[in-house]
Structure 1
């Protein structure tokens, strides 16, 4: 839980890089991020300063082993931090979602020279963004057509194309891009965002998650080295078929939003100079109806966090399962993916209900733009709209009834 929004450390925080789970420096970072979150959201102030502080803290290296310069956290510990970050500022939490997803992919791959180089960059503070989606591509039926292409250029390539919904890339040092290679297959590349020919456009206009940099990325004749391409045939890439990290990350942010709603609801009760006309108590803090409402939000926060962390536990079981063979790994991955999908259905609903209950605590005065309490619902609704829940529920039901595996493509 964020400790206080009255006075926190400024950007002179001294980090013992990288920050560790539950370290004092991490709490200082979270408190600082929370301090300006509402104002940034209301006035659409892009959090470049916050991302720079995250870069300095090496927060993005939490999952990298200590021996390789990282924080050495478990998957469960990572998601504990994601929930706290979602509490502090869901925009900032979403900015680093793709960073942790790509980093996890590299971590779970063979330690080739290339992968060690990318992990070293993350351990040094680099932040990774993503550019995968193309609006022109018809996705129904699971097609994977990609129009952003690599063409041969000497001993490397040139990249041309346009991507959309490039969340986090506006703030990133590196960008992970899905591309079409000359042989007609797809691959990923990881290149610096400041390379000539890359244009990052801040054109996201959603009513929630306003600051995530989820805009358009244009690639014009961008030079790409062969060592920067992850081919489908490469042996040093993660072959895990389920996209568990990306989907669970968004659910964890929504769990964090419920925490933030709880804090705002509690503060509202304490600060109310008067209560409702029909209240049974003169003091808002003694009103049983308000106590019940805040209690429900608190229970929602507990259930949401428990659901997310239960799913995250499966990620920590994957290494042992992998050692037992492909069948065991696939079984644990399927179970974890199912748990993550179930958690999304529950947590999204709890987040939206909790954001509404906040206005039952505060009444009409809480609808003022200056309070910006509507940000909780807007952000939760936007996050929930990623891979809509009816698709999740149908896929879970199809598995339970018919044993049909969950989708393995996209950020399901």
Structure 2
């Protein structure tokens, strides 16, 4: 992308313009629910590309939105309130944008930053079900050199967003056993996107299998991995806090639906304290609890974003600062431990506010708990709580894992 085309491209929206885009995405999400909830967020992703929301964290001089870290996480929360599936699909894209701005300069880096500025999306695949220990950088997927160039072969799972993206970032080991990342077109010959995600929540994120069968890779499609496990942690903290931001957005939507449920409810029980559900103090208490949990989750995510910002900004400008990286990783972990149980309880409490009719499938109210449970299961809270306790009691170092 030329400098002129970057400067004349449509600006990443903010303010009222951004709200209008989010309203469109939310309306499409509701339509898909009303039609049975079987359709992925294709229209919403078209709006994301059209308005270049994927370039929100890209530096302004590169044609991006130049969002600060707190501004970015506020965007993620609002986007998740509109459509949590779509927001989850974009997670690896945003992590890749951050990573690209941390690695040394190269033609490959410039190429992919230009792709981001144009509004295109980069999905990603890293996890392998053959890994005995999750969170490291050992891969069965291999990038090897053959007589006709580099070839990528392997099988990935939890491929969130890959099948809906323009490009796919895949981790692998090269011939020397070193971890590398490749970025290739999502529809290149030899790539198979299996629609086999069977999770109880986040059902339309394409989080199943991606297979690479002797896929051709060009030299400028190979990048160094921008996160060395246990060294530069901020990218890992970003993708963890991103999940909690989605949860905060879901909780905001849950609050809206709980309030509407009680406001529009006309039937109640013979032994209720009042004949009007909207003035029933017990039902109002439930909605108030849900509202407070949503507020707390959003506040904690944005507080952690402010603590993560120095690490991300310093890494771009001057290089890795280990102290700042640890600070951001701990902040993200604290959010997860703090909000998980209150969030899951809130997603269950909505049924106490709605009565028996709220369990009808057409209400789709169960999706909130299922989506939250799926997001929180990305990594075990019990382990993160133990690590935080070890830090508090013994001043222990963070473990060398991609989850911190």
Fold match, TM over 0.5?
yes
| Aligned-residue offset at 1:283 | 1.8
- Is structure 2 residue 357 aligned with structure 1 residue 365? yes
Q: Deviations over 1:190-246 (max 9, x none)?
A: 1111211111111101111100000111111111112211246x99xxx72341111
Partner of 1:137: 131
Q: 2: distance between equivalents of 1:33 and 1:325? A: 37
Q: Do the aligned residues in 2 keep the contact of 1:175 with 1:193 (CA within 8 Å)?
A: yes
Q: Do the aligned residues in 2 keep the contact of 1:204 with 1:213 (CA within 8 Å)?
A: yes
Structure 1 spans left out of the alignment, 5+ residues: 1-15
Partner of 2:277: 284
| Aligned-residue offset at 1:151 | 1.5
Match of 1:49 among 43, 47, 54: 43
Match of 2:64 among 62, 70, 73: 70
Match of 1:346 among 334, 338, 349: 338
| Aligned-residue offset at 1:113 | 3.0
Q: 2: distance between equivalents of 1:61 and 1:324? A: 18
Q: Do the aligned residues in 2 keep the contact of 1:198 with 1:220 (CA within 8 Å)?
A: yes
Q: Do the aligned residues in 1 keep the contact of 2:233 with 2:402 (CA within 8 Å)?
A: no
Judge which range, 144-153 or 292-301, deviates more: 144-153
Match of 1:400 among 387, 392, 400: 392
- Is structure 2 residue 194 aligned with structure 1 residue 171? no
Q: 2: distance between equivalents of 1:208 and 1:91? A: 9
Partner of 1:121: 115
Q: Do the aligned residues in 1 keep the contact of 2:193 with 2:211 (CA within 8 Å)?
A: yes
Judge which range, 291-300 or 105-114, deviates more: 105-114
Give me the TM-score of the superposition, normalised by structure 1.
0.89
- Is structure 2 residue 297 aligned with structure 1 residue 304? yes
Q: Do the aligned residues in 2 keep the contact of 1:64 with 1:70 (CA within 8 Å)?
A: yes
Q: 1: distance between equivalents of 2:242 and 2:215? A: 31
Q: Do the aligned residues in 1 keep the contact of 2:172 with 2:180 (CA within 8 Å)?
A: yes
Q: Do the aligned residues in 2 keep the contact of 1:151 with 1:159 (CA within 8 Å)?
A: yes
Partner of 1:10: none
Partner of 2:4: none
| Aligned-residue offset at 1:324 | 10
Q: Deviations over 1:95-132 (max 9, x none)?
A: 00111111111123334332222111011011111111
| Aligned-residue offset at 1:408 | 3.6
| Aligned-residue offset at 1:67 | 2.0
- Is structure 2 residue 371 aligned with structure 1 residue 379? yes
Q: Do the aligned residues in 2 keep the contact of 1:314 with 1:336 (CA within 8 Å)?
A: yes
Q: Do the aligned residues in 1 keep the contact of 2:304 with 2:331 (CA within 8 Å)?
A: yes
Q: Deviations over 1:327-366 (max 9, x none)?
A: 8x21121111111101011222222111111111111110
| Aligned-residue offset at 1:160 | 1.0
Partner of 2:198: 205
Match of 1:391 among 375, 383, 388: 383
| Aligned-residue offset at 1:36 | 3.5
Partner of 1:83: 77
Q: Do the aligned residues in 1 keep the contact of 2:141 with 2:171 (CA within 8 Å)?
A: yes
SS at match of 1:347: helix
SS at match of 1:150: strand
| Aligned-residue offset at 1:325 | 7.5
Give me the TM-score of the superposition, normalised by structure 2.
0.91
Q: Deviations over 1:27-72 (max 9, x none)?
A: 1221122224255354321122221221111000001122211111
SS at match of 2:153: strand
| Aligned-residue offset at 1:25 | 2.7
Q: 2: distance between equivalents of 1:306 and 1:192? A: 38
